[in-house]
Amino acid sequence: MASPSPVPSQATDWSKCILCQLESKEALICPTDVGYRTIAETVLQFHKLNLMPIQIDITQLDQGNGIASTFKEQNAKWHKSCYLKFSKSKLDRAKERKRKCTEEATTSKRIFTRSTCSSSGDADTPTPVEDKGRMCFFCSKGETTEKLREVCTFQLDYRVRKCAHDLQDEQLLAKLSSGDLIALEAKYHARCLASLYNKARGIITHEPDASNDQTCKGIALAELISYIEEQRQDEGIKVFRLADLTALYSDRLEQLGVDVTTRVNSTHLKDRILMHLPAMNAYKEGRDVFMAYEDDVGTVLRQGYQNDRDEQSVMMTKIADMIRRNIFAQKVTFSGSFDQNSQVEKSKGRNRGKYLRA
């Protein structure tokens, strides 16, 4: 895409993006001193290469103390999209293009003879060097009868990579390994891209079973997640054993007609469950893995604490000590005869003991 070109004769408006000088809804970024020095050096190097991504009059950016100092004094700001056009990776690619063009121009000039001259007699002008950036990414040919298009979306990069992986096209995978298509500034013929899609579609058409298995696995996973949520709310179950969930998942796959002769990978199943239930966590205990919601961990720990037999024994011992101390603290004297109401008091005490035992 063509970069915006501000009018060089106008003075720089420091309240706008100092790179494009255009109004935009994109937020302006105010960097640190290091950021000012970095962008100043990069702009100067692009200017020396005569390959500026955005046409800038650099004389307007220097007020006498250098571009970096001027940026700092004026509190310069820029759009992130404009800054990325002056990134180090773009600068490295620009240097590489410049180097290749220089080498090819030198070679072309060295083998230039009078027999290749035009009829006008302009013998000092070599033949133009082919721009490598104007070649189709797939067929490595330039514009012929079909116009070259530029990759502008990550969705296209994703689809091309997926097709290359499905086709196991080693040559295309090697090209894609150097970076995404947008960063590579790749261009393509629409016919070449359509041909790649058709080849990949043919591979998928001849493998219907694999697609059907993936659908069944998705259904089984959705039902398993629904089971976990229902058991937690209806039955009050707080902890789930991963081995039990894996067994349920395998049984459901078998019911759906999926071949489960190979053991289901429980670790992959755990990761898929946690991806759809981010509030859940997995806890390893020996060879087992238990899964529980973060909100339920406290409840489970409390229940385990209350059911601890050692704790119950300690509490019973403390209670016995308290009763023993109360008994020994009572002082009873016998005068030689029973009181007239002693039988009534004894009966009341017996009934009170029955009530306490109940």
Q: Tokens 């058409």 sit at which residue? A: 205
Q: What angle do CA 83, 52, 20 make, to 5 degrees?
A: 50
Same-domain pairing of 94 and 2: yes
Question: What pLDDT is stored for residue 85 in this prediction?
Answer: 83
Same-domain pairing of 221 and 186: no
Stretch 202-231: mean pLDDT: 75
Both tokens assigned to 349:
């005490």
pLDDT tops 70 at residue 70: yes
Same-domain pairing of 188 and 214: no
Q: Tokens 């070449």 sit at which residue? A: 192
pLDDT tops 60 at residue 204: no
CA dist., res. 77 & res. 71, Å (int): 8
Stretch 232-258: mean pLDDT: 86
Q: Tokens 């029973």 sit at which residue? A: 338
Same-domain pairing of 197 and 214: no
Stretch 98-125: mean pLDDT: 54
Same-domain pairing of 239 and 266: yes
- What would the pLDDT profile of 322-351 be if each residue is shown by its tens digit? 888 887 777 666 676 767 776 666 565 555
Domain-ending residue, one of 260, 278, 296? 296
Same-domain pairing of 196 and 217: no
- Could you tell me if residue 173 is inside a domain? yes
Question: What pLDDT is stored for residue 116 in this prediction?
Answer: 44
Ordered DSSP codes for 77-96: BEEHHHHHTT-HHHHHHHHH
Stretch 38-60: mean pLDDT: 82
Domain-ending residue, one of 296, 321, 353? 296
Element holding 81 (H helix, E strand): helix 80-84
CA dist., res. 291 & res. 10, Å (int): 65
Same-domain pairing of 259 and 292: yes
Range of the domain at 84: 1-109
Domain-ending residue, one of 205, 221, 241? 205
- Could you tell me if residue 318 is inside a domain? no
Same-domain pairing of 140 and 84: no
- Could you tell me if residue 35 is inside a domain? yes
Stretch 96-104: mean pLDDT: 79
More confident residue, 34 or 67: 67
- Could you tell me if residue 238 is inside a domain? yes
| Residue 241 phi, psi dihedral angles, 5° rounding | -90, 130
pLDDT tops 50 at residue 123: no
* C-alpha of 177 from chain center: 19
Instruction: Confirm if 82 and 54 have CB atoms less than 8 A apart.
Output: yes
- Could you tell me if residue 338 is inside a domain? no
Same-domain pairing of 200 and 230: no
Instruction: Confirm if 216 and 251 have CB atoms less than 8 A apart.
Output: no
Same-domain pairing of 17 and 82: yes
User: How many folded domains does the chain comprise?
Assistant: 3
- The reported pTM is 0.31
Same-domain pairing of 193 and 226: no
**Could you say which DSSP state residue 134 is in?**
G
Question: What pLDDT is stored for residue 117 in this prediction?
Answer: 40
How many helices (H) and strands (E) the chain has is answered by: 13, 7
- Could you tell me if residue 74 is inside a domain? yes
Closest C-alpha to 86, from 36, 134, 154:
36
| CATH, residue 275 | 1.10.10.10
Stretch 87-114: mean pLDDT: 70
CA dist., res. 322 & res. 325, Å (int): 5
Question: What pLDDT is stored for residue 125 in this prediction?
Answer: 41
